[in-house]
């Protein structure tokens, strides 16, 4: 972990310096529109390492929280603690404190990653790597640790607790990412007079869908089957692409884009983080119920 932080500090400082130096001179030497390809060229391996920080919250839950309570039960050592004047509530509360420790640790790493990616953010790519920056990694870590504690207190065996924590964490994260996150706020829609031309979604937007819509309102996605094109446009298919697009536009076809603007980034972060914190509170409540009201 310390090696990763050192790597981020060293490479992040260089990227920030390169970013400021590039924009100080790009107006005189080359187009500033090329900033993304120039600034981050050659950083692929480092970016892959940074992206791997997405699994850090899960590791907290698997190898820290899940065995924390489960192993005590499996070895029977919790009975020793309870017979020496330590109540069940106090014993579990001491373990629950690790939820907050995990949150602080994940927060420090997320802050470092967010700083590392700040030059890319400045180039309107704020929705990239949403899961490893901002405040959501803290919420993921708190959720993972609370999940491990709850599952450990339920199964009271280390291996089943680890396996269940793994499965539930991945399932919840995938469900929220794929099916819930795009609808946390109502997406914006924009129709363009031209097809695949200028004037699309604002820079840095999270584009949910983009496709061609016919005069009848049917969305064809990014490709219209040849047999559904107007007859006059079919002759342009094997000609220049621009001719086909112009023909389709003249016959009532247009492009629509559904997106979330970059200005919603922190709103999405706050909403999703709140969801996982609520989940964590519920899981901690389950852990308390399992420990306080279930026979040892």
More confident residue, 238 or 162: 162
Query: Any bridge partners for residue 188, and if so which?
Result: 259
Give the residue from 234, 265, 250 showing the smallest Cα distance to 130.
265
Q: Say whether pLDDT at 197 is over 70.
A: no
Do 124 and 159 fall into the same domain?
Answer: yes
- Does some domain include residue 270? yes
Same domain, 100 and 146: yes
Rounded mean pLDDT of 156-175? 95
pLDDT for 79 equals: 65
One DSSP character per residue, 13-79 reads: HHHHHHHHHHHHHHHHHS-GGGHHHHHTTT-HHHHHHHHGGGGHHHHHIIIIIHHHHHHHHHHTHHH
Give yes or no: residues 143 and 79 share one domain. Answer: yes
Q: What are phi and psi of 260, to 5 degrees?
A: -115, 125
Token digits of residue 125: 């790519």
Q: Is residue 6 part of a domain?
A: no
3-state secondary structure of 126: coil
Q: How many CB atoms lie within 10 A of CB 116?
A: 24
State whether 108 and 235 are in the same domain: no
Average pLDDT of the chain is 76
- Give the CA-trace dihedral at 22, 25, 30, 34, to 10 degrees: 20
Residues 91 and 173 in one domain: yes
Enumerate residues 6+ apart whose C-beta is below 8 A from 237.
Answer: 226, 229, 244
Q: Is residue 8 part of a domain?
A: no
Is 192 among the domain residues?
A: yes
Q: Which of 22, 15, 62 is nearest to 42 (CA)?
A: 15
**SS3 call for 283:** helix
pLDDT in tens, 221-279: 667 777 677 777 766 554 455 567 677 777 777 778 889 998 899 999 999 999 999 99
Q: Does residue 168 fall inside a structural domain?
A: yes
153: number of CA atoms within 13 Å, CB side? 25
Looking at the fold, whether 249 and 287 belong to one and the same domain comes out as no
Whether 221 and 100 map to the same domain: the answer is no
Whole-number pLDDT of residue 130: 87
Q: Is 253 helix (H, G, I), strand (E, B) or coil?
A: coil
272 in the same domain as 173: yes
91, 222: one domain: no
Residue-level pLDDT at 28 = 46
Residue 44 within a domain: no
Residues shown for the chain: 296
> Based on the domain organization, do 201 and 94 belong to the same domain?
no
Does the residue 1 lie in any domain?
no
Q: Tell me how many domains the chain contains.
A: 2
Query: According to DSSP H, which parts of the chain are helical?
Result: 2-29, 35-39, 44-51, 56-60, 66-75, 77-82, 88-116, 118-122, 136-155, 158-175, 231-234, 241-250, 265-292
Q: Kind and range of the H or E element at 260? A: strand 254-260
Under 8 Å between Cβ of 273 and 138: yes
Q: Is residue 223 part of a domain?
A: yes
- In angstroms, the CA 216 to CA 213 distance is 8
pLDDT digit string (tens) for 32-76? 445 445 455 545 556 666 677 778 888 888 988 888 888 888 877
DSSP H or E stretch at residue 256? strand 254-260
Q: How sure is the predictor about 121, in pLDDT bands with cuts at 50, 70 and 90?
A: low
Q: Does 194 lie in the same domain as 170?
A: no
Answer yes or no: do 252 and 269 share one domain. Answer: no
Residue-level pLDDT at 117? 66
Q: What does the block give as tokens for 179?
A: 């099916």
Structural domain boundaries, residue 143: 56-185+264-292
Evaluated on CA atoms 74, 77, 80, 85, the torsion sign reads negative
Q: What is the mean pLDDT of residues 278-292?
A: 90
User: At residue 135, does pLDDT exceed 70?
Assistant: yes
Question: What is the rounded (10 degree) CA torsion for 43, 51, 16, 268?
Answer: 140
């Amino acid at each position: 972990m310390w090696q990763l932080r050192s790597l981020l500090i060293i490479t992040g400082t260089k990227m920030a310096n390169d970013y400021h130096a590039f924009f100080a001179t790009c107006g005189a030497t080359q187009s500033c529109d090329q900033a993304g390809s120039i600034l981050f060229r050659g950083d692929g391996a480092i970016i892959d390492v940074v992206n791997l920080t997405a699994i850090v919250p899960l590791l907290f839950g698997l190898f820290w929280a899940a065995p924390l309570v489960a192993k005590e039960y499996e070895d029977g050592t919790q009975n020793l603690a309870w017979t020496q004047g330590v109540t069940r509530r106090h014993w579990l509360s001491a373990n629950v404190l690790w939820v907050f420790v995990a949150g602080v640790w994940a927060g420090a790493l997320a802050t470092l990653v967010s700083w590392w990616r700040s030059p890319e953010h400045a180039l309107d790519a704020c929705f990239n790597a949403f899961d490893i920056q901002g405040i959501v990694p803290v919420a993921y870590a708190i959720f993972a640790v609370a999940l491990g504690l709850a599952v450990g207190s339920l199964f009271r065996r280390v291996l089943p607790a680890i396996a269940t924590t793994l499965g539930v964490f991945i399932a919840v994260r995938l469900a929220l990412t794929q099916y819930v996150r795009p609808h946390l706020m109502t997406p914006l829609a924009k129709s363009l007079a031209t097809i695949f031309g200028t004037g699309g979604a604002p820079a840095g937007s999270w584009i949910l869908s983009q496709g061609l819509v016919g005069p009848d309102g049917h969305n064809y996605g990014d490709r219209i089957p040849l047999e559904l094109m107007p007859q006059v446009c079919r002759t342009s298919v094997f000609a220049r692409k621009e001719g086909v697009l112009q023909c389709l536009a003249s016959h009532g076809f247009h492009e629509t884009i559904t997106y979330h603007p970059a200005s919603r980034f922190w709103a999405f972060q706050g909403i999703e983080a709140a969801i996982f914190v609520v989940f964590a509170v519920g899981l901690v409540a389950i852990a308390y119920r399992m420990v306080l009201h279930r026979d040892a």
